[in-house]
Structure 1
Amino acid sequence: MRGAAGKGNTLEFGPRTVAVVEDNPSMRKSIERLLNAHGLKTEGYSSAEAFLNHATATEIDCIVIDIHLDGMSGIALRHGLKTTHSTLPVIFITAVDDDALEAEARGAGCVAYLHKPFAAASLIHAIDKALATD
């Protein structure tokens, strides 16, 4: 993704972009508003398939994925990205408290795994961490 060195959440070319893949429209909008308020650009997608069909990977710096999506799951999306050799940092979010699911998500590779409802600061911290390693 755009791996140029920058300060905070912006590069010399502009703000960093976070894709939000969440099938709940109000949750997706809430996350996008939060990230926009912290100087990040966002692209919202209602499904993994919509992300795969419409996202421009070179313009995305990080992705926040709900694990339980209609159609392809968030974990399946992550596995699919890995098969294309994507190094896009991933943050998983879920409303389900399940240790086996968390282990599977972490095994798929993620910067953070957050349980809904999560504190805004937790998501911002996870994104800052993801962008620092990008």
Structure 2
Amino acid sequence: MPAECHTIYVIDDDASIRRALGRVMTSAGYAWESFDSADQFLARTDLAENACIVADMALIGMSGLELQQELNARHYRFPVIFLTAEDSEEIRNVARNAGAAGFFRKPVDTQALLDAIDWALHEPQQEPSEPDSPLV
């Protein structure tokens, strides 16, 4: 059972995905908040310290990868797990180089996602290998 002090931030422009992931987080015992855009998330000033982000890569406005780069630039070390409907080796490599803690194709296996969240919350976060890599 996850510690109560961990918060999962779900960022997806699809309300049904946010609701579904919220139910998964609740059933796993995580506190969670959802946002429909990266900009809405970044506007928050009271973010939890022990948190993980689950974000769609293809958000409207700022993409998930751009969000990861902005977090890196602001020196936020939240683990980020990406979800995507369109997968490719190139996208996975760019996400990995940006410092992503995980990468899943939609529809996501919820147990695999929860395992990745648990791992990401308990492993030290690595510095991104190429913080200024071009976005796909």
Work out whether residues 19 and 60 of structure 1, in 8 Å CA contact, stay in contact via their aligned partners in 2: no
CA distance in 2, matches of 1:46, 1:58: 18
Work out whether residues 23 and 46 of structure 1, in 8 Å CA contact, stay in contact via their aligned partners in 2: yes
Q: Which residue of 2 aligns with 1:4?
A: none
Residues 57-102 of structure 1, C-alpha deviation per residue, up to 9 Å, x if partnerless?
2355110010000000000000000011111111011000221111
Residues 22-73 of structure 1, C-alpha deviation per residue, up to 9 Å, x if partnerless?
0000011100110110000111000000000125223551100100000000
CA distance in 2, matches of 1:67, 1:55: 22
Q: Which residue of 2 aligns with 1:9?
A: 2
Provide TM-score, normalisation by structure 1.
0.87
Which amino acid counterpart does residue 37 of structure 2 have in structure 1? S
RMSD between aligned residues = 1.4
**SS across alignment from 2:48:** helix
Q: Which residue of 1 aligns with 2:11?
A: 21
Q: Which residue of 2 aligns with 1:35?
A: 25
CA distance in 2, matches of 1:45, 1:35: 14
Q: Does 1:92 align with 2:82?
A: yes
Q: Which residue of 2 aligns with 1:51?
A: 41
Structure 1 runs of 4+ aligned residues shifted over 3 Å read: none
Q: 2:95 aligns with which of 105, 108, 114?
A: 105
Give the gaps of 5 or more residues in structure 2.
125-136
Which amino acid counterpart does residue 96 of structure 1 have in structure 2? E
Structure 1 residues 114 and 83: alpha-carbon distance in aligned structure 2, compared to 1, 3 A threshold: same
Provide TM-score, normalisation by structure 2.
0.86
Q: Is the helix fraction higher in 1 or 2?
A: 1
